[in-house]
Structure 1
Amino acid sequence: MTAPEATAPEALDLPESNPFSRAWETPFKLPPFAEIAPEHIRPAFDAALAKHKAEIASIIAEPAKPDFANTIEAMEQAGRALSRVGGVFYNLTGAHTNEALQAIEREMSPITSRHWSAIMMDAGLFARVERVYERREALHLDAEQLRLLERSYKGFVRSGARLGPGDKTRLAAINERLAALGTQFSQNVLKDESSYALILDEEAKLAGLPPFLLAAMARAAADRGQEGKHAVTLSRSIIEPFLTFSTRRDLREEAFIAWSKRGEHAGKTDNRAIVAEMVALRAEKAKLLGFRTFAHFKLDDCMAKTPENVRELLELVWKPAKARAAEEAANLAALAQGEGENGPIRPWDWRHYAEKVRQQTYALDEAVLKPYLQLDRIIAAAFDTAGKLFGLAFEEMTDLAGYHPDVRIWEVKEARSGRHIGLFLGDYFARSSKRSGAWMSAFRGQRKLGGEVRPIIVNVCNFAKPEEGKPALLSLDDARTLFHEFGHALHGLLSDVTYGSLAGTSVSRDFVELPSQLYEHWFMTEEVMQRFCLHAETGEPIPQALIDKIRQAQTFNQGFATVEYTSSALVDLAFHSLEKPEGLDPLAFEAAELARLGMPAEITMRHRTPHFTHVFSGDGYSAGYYSYLWSEVMDADAFNAFIEAGDVFAPEVAGKLKRYIYSAGDTRDAAEAYTLFRGRLPTPDALLEKRGLAA
C-alpha cells in the first residue's frame, strides 16, 4: 500500500508508514523526529534519488529550446525530496548518530556521489546549461538570475562536464571513492572520541580541579556507568579545562596524548592510510580538471584565488605569532621552574601554566569568571544582540520536539511586524552520539522560487552538561563559540533570496566565516556583558573590573593560539599543494612541514592530520582551513565600522550589514558584497592589531 499521489514535490512514493511519503503537516513543517526511524532512511533515499533522476531527465528531454526558466530554474526546482531526506539524515549523523545510521551513511556516500557525478557530467544537461549561458547577455536577466546562471555553469565545468568520456568515468570514480573515505574518516574520529575516557577514582587524581569541572566529569563518568567517579573525555569542554587546571602532570600527559592521537591508532580507526589516499585522489582530480594542484583547483573559486595569496597571508601572521609564542614559552618555563619543574614545557603543560600566568598578570581566574557565563544568559544575549542589530525576536516553542531531548526550538520573527523568519534549534551539550566541535547546519534552507520557504537552522555545540538542577556554566571560549555559531545561524535565518542554491551560507568558503566571526565581537562589548553576564548564585552583574581584566587579557596567549591555528592551515595548504603525492606518509609529511616552519616544540597543531575533520571528513575546508584567518581580516575591519560610528548597534551600519552580508547569500561576488558594506576592501592591519601581533 503506497501513499496517494502526492502534490508536494518533497513527498515520495513510499508506504504510508514512512514519514517521507507525505508532506509534513507539523508546525512550520518541522521534521516529525519522533516518527523517523533508521529503517525509513534508506528507502527514502532510494525513492528520492529516483525522483530526482526523473526530474533531471525531464529537463533534458524538454523539446523547447533551452532558456532560463526551463533549464536553470527547473534544476532549482528539482531535488526537493532529496534535499528533505538529506537535511534530516546528515544532521542526525553529525549530532545524534548510532550504528544503524552510520551503516546507512557508509552505504549512501558512494551512491549519492555517483548520482551527482552523473547529473553534473551529463552531456545533454550541460549542453542546455551552456546554451543558456552563451546567450546570457540577451536574456535580460536580473542580477540574481545572472549570478545563478554563472554559478550553475561554473559548477558544471568544475564538476567535469567538459571532460571526455574516459576522464568523466575516472573523475566519477574518484569522487565516489573520496565520499566513502571521508565518511570513514569522520566515523573513525568519532569512534576514538566516544570510546575514550580516563576514569579518575582517587581523590589525589583530582588535584587542582575546580567545582564546575568536577561536576561535568562526574556526570560524564555516570553517563559511562561509572557512578561516583570522574571521567576525562575528549570533548573540548572537558579535556581543555582538565589540561588547564589539573596539577597532575602525569594525567595531563596521558589525556593530552589520547586527544592528540585520535585517528592515529593502529586498527580499524586508523586514518593515516585514508589521508594518503585522499590527498592522492584530490591531486589526480585537480589535474583532470586542468589545475596544477588541488589547492589551485579549490582556491580558484574562492576570494583568495591562488595558493600564493593564501600562503602570503598565513606567513604574514606566522612570523610574529611564532616570535610571540617564544616569549610566552619563556614566561611559562620561568613560572614552572619557580614551582620546581625544571624540564622543558611540553604541549600538555602549556594550558596549565598559561592559566597561572594569566591569573598572575591579569588577576583573571577562569573559575571566578565562569559563574557569570550561564548558558541560558548567553543564549539570551545572542538573541538580544540579533534583536538590536536586525530587529529579530525569539520565542521558545516548548511544545515542539527536536531529535534529542536536549534540543531546544525557537520561532524567529520580525519584532515589529511579527512576520515569521524561521525556526532555530539549539543543541548545546556534549554526548557520545555527537561528533566533536561546534557547527551550524540547516534542516531546510530559505528560497522564494515556487513559493516562500523559510529556513530551519540548527546550532550544535559540545558544552559540558551540568548536574541536574544546576545551571550550565560556560568558559569564555565557550561563550564566544556560542556567538560564533549563532552568527552562522543568522546568515541562514536572515537569507532573503529567490534561489535556494544561492541562499544563506552558500558563499565562498573564505567568506562564510565572516558573519560568524564578526558576531563574536558583540559578546565582548560592555553593553552585552553588563546586562547578561549575571552571577549564577547571586544574580549580580559582572563587575566592571572583571570586564576590564577580560579586555586587557584579550591578546594574552595569542602567540600560542595563532601558532596552533596557523600551523594547521599551513599543513593543510602543503598537503594540497603537492603535485605528486603518491606514496605519501601523512605523519612524516606533517612532521617535515612543521620542521620547515620551525614549529615550537611546546605547541601542537590545533588539528593534527589523522583527526583533521575540517579537511578530511569531506571537501568543505580541504585546502581551505586558512579561511578563518582570511575572514578574520574582514571581521576585525567590519566591526571597526560600528566603532567608527560611535555605537556598536549603529542602525545605519547594521542595516548595510544585513542587506549586503547576512541576507544576500551568494547573490554577488564576495569582494563586491564586502565593498558595498564597508566602502572598500580590508587590509590585514586590523587583524594583526586584534591579535596583538602588530609591530
Structure 2
Amino acid sequence: MKSPLLPPYHTPFDTVPFNTIQPDQFEPAIDQAIEMANKRIAAITSLETPTFQNTIEALEFCSLELNRVAEVFFNLNSAETNDSIQALARNISPKLSAFGNDVLLNADLFAKVDAVYQSREELDLTPEGARLLEKTWKSFTRNGAGLDDEGKVKLREIDEKLSTLGLQFGEHVLADTQAFTLHITDENELSGLPESARDMAAETASEKGLEGWVFTLDYPSYMAFMTYADHRELRKKMWTAFGKRGNNDNENNNTEIIRQISQLRAERANLLGFESHAQFVLAERMAEKPETVEEFLADLKSKSLDAAKTDVAEVAEFASKLDGLETLERWDFGYYSEKLKKEKFNIDDELLKPYFALENVLEGAFTVAGKLYGLKFEERKDLPVYHEEVRTFEVKDIHNNLQAIFYTDFHPRSGKRNGAWMTSYKSQYILNGEEHRPHISIVCNFSRPTKSKPALLTFQEVTTLFHEFGHALHGMLAEGTYPGLTGTNVYWDFVELPSQIMENWCYQPEALALFAKHYETGEIIPTEYVEKIRESATFLEGYATVRQLSFGLIDMAWHNRSTGVEGDLESFEKEVIQELELFPTSVEMMMSTAFSHIFQGGYSAGYYSYKWAEVLDADAFESFLEEGLFNPETALRFKKLLSSGGTVHPMDLYVEFKGSEPTPDALLRRAGLLPKTV
C-alpha cells in the first residue's frame, strides 16, 4: 500500500498535506521511496546502450519522491520539531546517507554514466543538458566512484557517522537555547528596555505560568535585552548563556562532536584525493581553491581591521563619558553602540519600529517583486500548513499563470531553531512535458505581536526579511528542465547574491515609501528618517566586517587541514582569530560549538561566501542605481540571472547581466571606504 506521504498529493497545487501528516508515517514513506528509486536505478544499470536520455535524465528524476519526502521531513525538523521527529531523524538520516552512497558507489551505474560522459562530444546536447551531464559525472567522481572496495566501505562509514553527528549537533544547540531563561520579578531590572520588549517578556512569562517577565535566547528576546537593558550584570548573564550554547558542562556539549566532524571531513577528503575538506568543497565553487579564499579574507582583513578597532574605540570612549565605564566588554557593545547611534544620527530601532509592521513589510516585499518581475501574491486560506502561524500565498506571473506557492513562518516558538532561512518543499522541473512549479518557504524568528501592537520589526529584521525573500525569488522564478539545476541549485558562493541584493531596496526612499508606514496613523516614514537610515548604513561597518571575517576564518581553520583538530578547542579558536580580537578575551565564549552554518547547515568551507556575495551584490546593485531602481530593462536582465539557476555558469550569468566581471570597488564605496560615484 502506497504511503500517503508519497507524492503526488491530492491537495490544491500538489501542496504537502501537512494537516494529515503523522510522524510515524515518515520512515515507511522514506523506505518506500528508496525502494522505488532503487528499482529505477536497477533499470538503468541493466541497459545495453546507455544514452543521455535513458541514463543521465533517468537518473536525475529517479528520486523525485524520495527527495520531496526528505525535504518535508527535514524542514519540519528545523521549523517544528519535537522529540519524536528528532528520534526519527536519527534513523532516517543514516538511511538517506546510505542510499546516496549506494548510488554514487554503484560501479555498474557509474560505468553507464561514464560511457555517456566519454561520448559527450558526439552528443547534440542543449547547454542545460551538457551542464547536467557534467554535474552528474562529477557527483560520482567526487564522491568515491573511483575508490576500491575497501575505500568505498570506509566512505560509507564516514558519511553515516557525519549524518548522525550533524543531527546531534543541531539538537544540542536547540536544547541549550531552550533550556535557558532569564526570569525577572523586580521591575527595576527592566530599566532601559522598551515597552515592546517588556510586553513580549511578560507574555512569555504568562505562557510559562510565571509572574513577571521572562527573556530567552530566541533572537528577538535576546537582542532586545542586549541592546537596551541597563542592568550590566544581567546583560553579561544573557551573553554568557548565548555564547556557551553547545559548550556547557552537560549532555548537550558539542566539543567532541565538532572535533569528530572535522576529523571525518578531513578523512573523507583525503580518501577522495584531496588535501582537505576545503579543497574538496571549493573545487565546485567560484573561488575554486582554498588559497583564493584565504587571499580574499586576508584582503578584507587589511581593509577593515583598523576601521574595526576605531569603531570599538569610539564606542568605548562614548561608554566612558556616558557612564564612566572603564572596560568595554562584549556584552556592553550592543548596548552602547545603540546609544551612540542614536546620539550621532538621532535614530534608533524604537523610533523606526512603528513604521515597520510585519504585515506592511511583507506587502512591501511583494510590491517590490511585482514592480521588478511582474509577480502577484494572493493569500490562500485553504492550503495545508504545519503550524497555525504559517501563511500561504499563490504567486502568479504577469500573465496570471501559476509561478509558485509561497509559505511564510515568522515567529519563534518551541521546536523551531533560531535564525532565518529559505527552503523548498518542491523544486521546479519539467517531466514528460509537464512543468512543475516550485513551492518555496521562508522561516524567520521575528518579534511577535503583543496584545496591544502588531509585530513591529527592527530595521535589521526588515533587511532580514528582504534577504530571505531574495532567496525565495531565486526559487520562485526558476526556469529549467532538471530539478538539480534550477532555483538555488547554484554554486554556494553565488547563492547569496539574489538574497543580499534585495537588502539594498530597504535603504532607498522610493522603495521605503511603498511600505514603511506608521502602523497607527498610516503616515509614510518621514524623509529625515530615511536619510538617517542611509547615513547610518555604514555605522560600525568596520566592526561588522571583522565579525563576519572571524566566522570565515574559523570555518577555514576547521576545514582547510588534512587532519582533525587536536588539543584544547577554545585555545584553537582563539588562536585563529586573536589578531581580530577587539575586546578583552573571555573563556566564556566559543563560536564553534553553536556554529550551525558549518556544522549542521551547508556552509562548511563556505562561510566566506557571505562577503564574497557582497562584492557581487554591491557591484550588481550599482546598475539599478544608475539605470533606475525599478528600471524594467535592468530588472529583466537580473530576472534572467535569477531564473537560470545552475543551468549556466554563474560568472557567465553575472557578466551577461553586468557586462563585466565584478570588482570590490562598489562594495568599498558602499562601506564608505571609497568615494561614491552614484
Give TM class, smaller chain: over 0.9
Which SS does the other structure have where 1:443 is aligned? Answer: strand
Q: CA deviation at 1:400?
A: 2.2
Partner of residue 27 from structure 2, selected from 26, 30, 42: 42
**Alpha-carbon distance in 2 for matches of 1:693, 1:41:** 52
Partner of 2:37: 52
Q: Does 1:421 align with 2:403?
A: yes
**Alpha-carbon distance in 1 for matches of 2:589, 2:136:** 35
Identity of aligned residues (%): 41
**Alpha-carbon distance in 2 for matches of 1:560, 1:248:** 24
Which SS does the other structure have where 1:448 is aligned? Answer: strand
1:427-481 alpha-carbon deviations (Å, 9 max, x no partner): 0011121011000000101001232101110000001112146310000110000
Q: Does 1:576 align with 2:559?
A: yes
Taking the TM superposition and a 5 Å limit, the aligned residue runs for 1:75-224 are 75-224=59-208
**Alpha-carbon distance in 1 for matches of 2:71, 2:261:** 25
**Alpha-carbon distance in 1 for matches of 2:135, 2:485:** 9
Partner of 1:599: 581
Contact 1:219 1:465 in 2 (8 A): no
Contact 2:244 2:589 in 1 (8 A): no
1:247-303 alpha-carbon deviations (Å, 9 max, x no partner): 000000000000111111122110000111111111111111111111111111100
Contact 2:240 2:589 in 1 (8 A): no
Contact 1:436 1:462 in 2 (8 A): yes
Contact 1:674 1:681 in 2 (8 A): yes
Q: CA deviation at 1:340?
A: 3.4
Partner of residue 446 from structure 2, selected from 451, 463, 471: 463
**Alpha-carbon distance in 1 for matches of 2:562, 2:674:** 35
Q: TM-score, normalised by structure 1?
A: 0.95
Contact 2:16 2:384 in 1 (8 A): no
Partner of 1:681: 661
**Alpha-carbon distance in 2 for matches of 1:330, 1:473:** 32
Contact 1:565 1:606 in 2 (8 A): no
Query: What letter matches 1:483 in structure 2?
Result: F
Partner of 2:312: 329
Q: CA deviation at 1:587?
A: 2.0
* Structure 2, unaligned runs of 5 or more: none
**Alpha-carbon distance in 2 for matches of 1:293, 1:234:** 35
* Structure 1, unaligned runs of 5 or more: 3-12
Which SS does the other structure have where 1:276 is aligned? Answer: helix
Taking the TM superposition and a 5 Å limit, the aligned residue runs for 1:604-643 are 608-618=591-601, 620-643=602-625
**Alpha-carbon distance in 1 for matches of 2:339, 2:468:** 29
Q: Does 1:304 align with 2:287?
A: yes
**Alpha-carbon distance in 2 for matches of 1:603, 1:127:** 55
Q: CA deviation at 1:490?
A: 0.5
**Alpha-carbon distance in 1 for matches of 2:357, 2:429:** 35
Q: CA deviation at 1:598?
A: 3.7
Contact 2:282 2:289 in 1 (8 A): yes
Which SS does the other structure have where 2:425 is aligned? Answer: strand
**Alpha-carbon distance in 2 for matches of 1:306, 1:252:** 41
**Alpha-carbon distance in 2 for matches of 1:281, 1:584:** 16
Contact 1:502 1:666 in 2 (8 A): yes
Contact 2:169 2:257 in 1 (8 A): yes
**Alpha-carbon distance in 2 for matches of 1:606, 1:643:** 41
Shifted more, 271-280 versus 680-689: the winner is 680-689
Relative to 1, partners in 2 of residues 1:393 and 1:321: Cα closer, same or farther, differing over 3 Å?
same
Partner of 1:346: 329
Partner of 1:6: none
Query: What letter matches 1:642 in structure 2?
Result: F
**Alpha-carbon distance in 2 for matches of 1:340, 1:434:** 38
Query: What letter matches 1:32 in structure 2?
Result: P
Query: What letter matches 2:428 in structure 1?
Result: Q
Q: Does 1:650 align with 2:631?
A: yes
Query: What letter matches 2:494 in structure 1?
Result: F
Which SS does the other structure have where 1:442 is aligned? Answer: strand
**Alpha-carbon distance in 2 for matches of 1:527, 1:222:** 42
Relative to 1, partners in 2 of residues 1:116 and 1:538: Cα closer, same or farther, differing over 3 Å?
same
Partner of 2:13: 28
Partner of 1:361: 344
Runs of 4+ in 1 over 4 A off after TM superposition: 602-607
Alignment RMSD (CA, Å): 1.6
Partner of 1:8: none
Q: CA deviation at 1:603?
A: 8.9
**Alpha-carbon distance in 2 for matches of 1:462, 1:188:** 19
Contact 1:322 1:600 in 2 (8 A): no
1:523-582 alpha-carbon deviations (Å, 9 max, x no partner): 221112122111112211100000000100000011221111110111111111122325
**Alpha-carbon distance in 2 for matches of 1:160, 1:252:** 49
**Alpha-carbon distance in 1 for matches of 2:397, 2:331:** 48
**Alpha-carbon distance in 1 for matches of 2:427, 2:542:** 39
Aligned length: 673
Partner of residue 665 from structure 1, selected from 628, 645, 658: 645
1:30-82 alpha-carbon deviations (Å, 9 max, x no partner): 1111100111111111111122122211111123x110011011012211221
1:148-190 alpha-carbon deviations (Å, 9 max, x no partner): 0001111111111111111111111111111110010011111
Q: TM-score, normalised by structure 2?
A: 0.97
Q: CA deviation at 1:666?
A: 0.4
